[in-house]
């Protein structure tokens, strides 16, 4: 019983912490800056992992059309079926730089994100990609 209460209080504190950071000035700046992050030249390739399982890679280019330096980009991938219904919505970190590095203003960076165990209903077309979150320096 004590363990359950401890877990619930941890989750409540984490939720409050996440809400706090999402509503700060930096969070608002990053939210507004998302429109200056452009994802283009999307492609799809297929390979195998070391176990011999099929892996699909979504590749593309991220362009920073604003004035700030971007250190992190999180993307949401929407895989659809033949009727254009979303069969998988998956959010993944596409790019993350450490230290003072990042995507400078008006510069580009390539990304590649691997997916395995995709739904059989997926139509094998490049997923729709949305910028979910960014980190500015």
For 17-74, the pLDDT digits (tens) are: 333 334 455 588 888 899 999 999 999 999 998 988 999 999 999 999 999 999 999 9
Tell me which residue of 62, 70, 60 sits closest to 105, measured CA to CA.
70
pLDDT at 124: 96
CATH code, 101: 2.60.40
Decide if 52 is inside a domain.
yes
Dihedral sign, Cα of residue 60, residue 113, residue 134, residue 31: positive
Decide if 132 is inside a domain.
yes
d(CA 127, CA 76): 9
Decide if 31 is inside a domain.
no
Decide if 11 is inside a domain.
no
Give the count of domains, the chain. 1
Decide if 98 is inside a domain.
yes
pLDDT tens profile 77-105: 999 999 999 999 999 999 999 988 999 99
pLDDT at 25: 56
Decide if 6 is inside a domain.
no
pLDDT at 137: 84
Please, what is the Cα angle at 123 between 120 and 125, to 5 degrees? 130
pLDDT: is 119 or 17 the higher one? 119
Decide if 123 is inside a domain.
yes
| pTM of the complete model | 0.79
Structural domain harbouring 53: 37-136
Decide if 12 is inside a domain.
no
């Amino acid at each position: 019983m004590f363990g359950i209460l401890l877990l619930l209080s941890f989750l409540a504190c984490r939720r409050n912490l996440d809400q706090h950071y999402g509503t700060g000035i930096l969070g608002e700046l990053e939210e507004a800056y998302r429109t200056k992050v452009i994802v283009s030249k999307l492609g799809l390739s297929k390979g195998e992992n070391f176990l011999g399982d099929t892996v699909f890679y979504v590749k593309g280019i991220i362009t920073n059309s604003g004035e700030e330096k971007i250190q992190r980009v999180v993307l949401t991938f929407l895989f659809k079926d033949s009727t254009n219904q979303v069969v998988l919505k998956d959010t993944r970190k596409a790019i993350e730089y450490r230290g003072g590095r990042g995507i400078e203003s008006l510069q580009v960076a390539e990304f590649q994100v691997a997916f395995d165990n995709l739904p059989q209903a997926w139509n094998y077309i490049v997923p729709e990609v949305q910028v979910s979150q960014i980190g500015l320096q």
